[in-house]
Amino acid sequence: MPATTVKLDAELLREIAKVKSPRQTLSAFVRESVQADIRRRKLHAAAETYHRLLLENEGERRALDEWESAPLARPPTRKQK
């Protein structure tokens, strides 16, 4: 993949300098920030898709309700054979 130059204005560079680690390069900061934003957007889209599924699919909604009501704070009981 070819390298790309991105121009940032002086105010944005000052803001970045306030939050990035002194050991981190500007390129690394921008790359990691963009990667984090892409991941956030993908997770948001997945959450919206699942929300629509819950609205449209009664079985999935019941399964989620059952999962949420499960007593996870106590150890599971052993079934008798």
Q: Is residue 43 part of a domain?
A: yes
Closest among 18, 71, 70, 43 to 51, alpha carbons compared: 43
Domain assignment present for residue 70? The answer is no
72 in a domain, yes or no?
no
pLDDT at 25: 95
Q: Note whether residue 10 is domain-resident.
A: no
Q: Is 3 helix (H, G, I), strand (E, B) or coil?
A: coil
Tell whether 74 is covered by a domain. no
| CA dihedral (36, 41, 44, 49) positive or negative | negative
Asked whether the beta carbons of 53 and 64 are under 8 A apart, the reply is: no
Has residue 32 been placed in a domain?
yes
**pLDDT, tens only, 8-51:** 999 999 999 999 999 999 999 999 999 999 999 999 999 999 99
pLDDT, position 7: 93
Query: 32 is in which domain, residue-wise?
Result: 23-65
Total number of domains constituting the chain: 1
Q: What would the two tokens of residue 35 be?
A: 């990667």
Residue 6 lies in a domain: no
Q: How many residues does the chain have?
A: 81
